[in-house]
Amino acid sequence: MVEKRFFTVEEARAYLPRLRRILSLLRRSADLSVKAGSNGHAAVRTKATADDAPLDLDPGQALAELEDQGIVLRDPVVGLVDFPCLHPSGTVVQLCWQLGEDDLGWWHLPDAGFGSRRPLPLPPEL
């Protein structure tokens, strides 16, 4: 059994450059799947970004890396992820980030979701 990993805010921020590239790869893969499934008639995102730089992974390896890191992929199309984080009080929270955001700036409780995001820093007490 794999031990659950918890990220600090600093560790999650340090992983963002690679995460941007991984999520961009997964988004492109999802776009191609949609287009292929519609005989090429679906409108997909075609504008390249700096995050579209080549990556040394295929989509399956990218998903496996996220899982190995303990990062929760919530939505591959919009690039929404959560980093599990252990608050000093012992409460587990999710550091929430979405592709396109400049920095990690949000968190929420595990049973809440995107709509319940609160800005960082984490409050001293939970």
Residue-range domain boundaries for the chain: 9-38+52-119
Chain segment 24-80, per-residue pLDDT in tens = 999 888 766 554 555 555 444 444 455 555 578 899 999 999 999 999 999 998 999
Instruction: Determine the pLDDT at residue 54.
Output: 56
What CA–CA distances, in Å, run from 28 to 17, 43, 96, 110? 17, 13, 21, 28
Question: What torsion, rounded to 10 degrees, do the Cα atoms 49, 30, 63, 56 define?
Answer: -50
Residue 97 pLDDT more than 70? yes
The Cα 64–Cα 28 span in angstroms is: 17
Mean pLDDT of the chain: 85
According to DSSP, residue 3 is labeled: P
Instruction: Read off the tokens for 50.
Output: 């700096």
The whole-number pLDDT of residue 61 equals 95
